[in-house]
Amino acid sequence: MMTKEEKIKLKEMLPPKWVSLIVNGTGLSESYIRKVLSGDRSNLLIEEEALKLAKEYQAKASKIEQLKKSIL
């Protein structure tokens, strides 16, 4: 289980339109997902999906930064 502070930090690392991506991955409602990641509720499935999504997004962002540095 994640703390409220961890969830807030995680939300900052998620890509734009992250809620719809998690809705597609879990089948749960958008409002419930927002409540979970704001710290009002707890759901391990949503937390797991959000962590996976953040990891993928951060990896892509890192790769893009490396490409920019190598080209520019």
Q: How many domains is the chain partitioned into structurally?
A: 1
Position 56 confidence tier, pLDDT thresholds 50, 70, 90: very high
Q: If you write DSSP's letter for every residue of 34-48 in order, what string do you get?
A: HHHHHTSS--HHHHH
Q: Is the pLDDT of residue 8 over 90?
A: no
For the question of whether the overall pTM of this predicted structure is more than 0.85, the answer is no
Average pLDDT in the 23-52 region? 92
| Type of residue numbered 3 | T
Distances (CA, A) of 41 to 13, 69, 71: 20, 41, 44
pLDDT above 90 as % of the chain: 68
8 Å CB contact between 25 and 56: no
Confidence grade of residue 48 (pLDDT, cut at 50, 70, 90): very high
State which residues form the domain around 19. Answer: 4-71
What is the predicted pLDDT for the residue at 16?
A: 87
Cβ-based neighbours of 49, under 8 Å, separated by 6 or more:
22, 25, 26
